[in-house]
Amino acid sequence: MTRQHLLIDADDTLWENNIYFERAFEEFVAFLGHSAMTADQVRAVLDEIEEANNRVHGYGSLNFGRNLRQCYERLCEREVGAEDLDTVMGFAERILDCPMEVIEGVAETLEYLSLRHDLTVFTKGNPEEQKLKIDRSGLGGFFGHTAIVKEKDTAAYRRLVEERGLDLARTWMVGNSPKSDINPALEAGLGAVFVPHQHTWMLEREEIKTEGPRLLIVDCFSELRARF
How far apart CA 136 and CA 99 sit, in angstroms, is 9
- Same domain flag for 117 and 44: no
Q: What is the dihedral of CA 19, 22, 26, 27, to 10 degrees?
A: 80
The pLDDT tens digits of the residues spanning 176-220 come to 999 999 999 999 999 999 999 999 988 889 999 877 789 999 999
Q: Which residues pair with 145 in a beta bridge?
A: 120
* pTM beyond cutoff 0.75: yes
Q: Which of 52, 74, 97 marks a domain boundary? A: 97
Q: Can you give the residue range of the structural domain that contains 22?
A: 18-97
* CATH code: domain of residue 74: 1.10.150
* In a shared domain, residues 51 and 106: no
Last residue of a domain, one of 97, 127, 148: 97
Among 37, 66, 97, residue at a domain's last position: 97
**C-alpha–C-alpha distance, residues 182 and 165, integer Å:** 20
Say if CB 178 and CB 205 are below 8 A apart: yes
Q: What type of residue is 196?
A: P
Indicate which CATH number applies to the domain containing 122.
3.40.50.1000
87-110 pLDDT per residue, tens = 999 999 999 888 899 999 999 999
* 179 closest CA partner among 158, 149, 209, 159: 209
| Same domain as 143, residue 207 | yes
Domain count, the chain: 2
C-alpha 22/C-alpha 197 separation (Å) is 14
Q: How far apart are CA 72 and CA 23, in angstroms?
A: 16
Residues 3, 7, 10: CA angle, nearest 5 degrees: 140
Question: Is 110 found in the same domain as 81?
Answer: no
